[in-house]
Amino acid sequence: MSDELFGDRRKAMEDAFFAKQTEKLKHELRQKQEGQAKREALAAVSGIGDERVLDHLASQGLQAETVAALSLVPLVEVAWADGSIDAKERAAILSGVRQQGITPSSPAHQLLEAWLSNPPDPKVLATWKEYVTALCSSLDTDARGALQRDLLDRARRVAEAAGGFLGLGSKVSPAEEKMLRDLEQAFGRAKP
- The CA radius of gyration of the chain, in Å to the nearest whole number, is 24
* C-alpha separations of 26 from 39, 55, 184 in Å: 20, 21, 43
Using an 8 Å Cβ cutoff, are 112 and 85 in contact? no
Task: Kindly report the pTM of this predicted structure.
Answer: 0.65
Please report the pLDDT score of residue 26 as a whole number.
Answer: 76
Using an 8 Å Cβ cutoff, are 59 and 160 in contact? no
The pLDDT tens digits along the chain (192 residues) read: 566 666 777 777 777 777 777 778 777 778 777 778 877 877 776 666 777 777 777 776 667 776 777 778 999 999 999 899 989 899 989 888 887 778 888 888 888 898 999 998 888 888 888 778 877 877 788 888 888 998 899 899 899 887 654 455 567 888 999 999 999 998 886 555
Please report the pLDDT score of residue 1 as a whole number.
Answer: 53
Please report the pLDDT score of residue 97 as a whole number.
Answer: 83
